[in-house]
Amino acid sequence: MSSAYPEIYLVRHGQTEWSLSGRHTGRTDIPLTPAGEEAARKVAGRLPAIDFAAVWSSPSERAKSTSTLAGFGDARAVKDDLAEWNYGAYEGVTTKEILAQRPGWQLFRDGCPDGETVADVGARADRIIGELRQVNGNVLIFSSAHFLRVFAARWLGLQPQGGAHFVLDTTSISILGYEHDLSEPVIRRWNQV
């Protein structure tokens, strides 16, 4: 299904040791695993043969490496607002470990001590959306799961907390776009692996 309107292709970075073990990986630069590198090399073959007006990446090495291995490193522009959630005190900690200390905790509701709130991440997503609306064409974005989930919620006009309802696997491809006109943002495909 193609569209007459611009489409935004979202690629979550490849697997890392921390994504594999469920540790929150915000600003810590963890390299891709060999399996993550292999999956990243296959991303280009999973994308349609279209021209991208822009290719943007999170500043994280895992996102930049994924874009490079997928063949888009030379075209990539790094956008600080695409960075993963700043988990603060929960950096490197699993959800299970957090819940043992703080029963009932939910990232998309409670945020992280010494880190970002969901509103903070939503504000960054809104700035990226504002930039996207100025691009005349398709855009390819490489980033991380929790940021991209909030980004999708904001694309649809939902509150940032709506990102809790979207799940993303490593090296998944999702497509945002429009339905009848540019006033109707939609998710065209989600979490394709």
Residues 6+ apart with CB under 8 A from 11: 43, 66, 67, 70, 140, 141, 142, 143, 171, 172, 173
Q: How far apart are CA 48 and CA 173, in angstroms?
A: 11
Active site residue 13: yes
Please give the backbone phi and psi of residue 54, each rounded to the nearest 5 degrees, phi first. -155, 150
List the structure tokens of 116: 């970002």
Other C-beta atoms closer than 10 Å to the C-beta of 138 total 20
The CA-to-CA distance between both ends of the chain, in Å, stands at 17
Going by C-alpha positions, the residue among 89, 95, 158 that lies closest to residue 125 is 158
- Catalytic residue, chosen from 13, 24, 116, 146, is 13
d(CA 86, CA 123): 13
Residue closest to 173 by CA, chosen among 131, 134, 127, 142 = 142
The catalytic residue among 7, 24, 84, 116 is: 84
User: What residues act catalytically?
Assistant: 13, 84
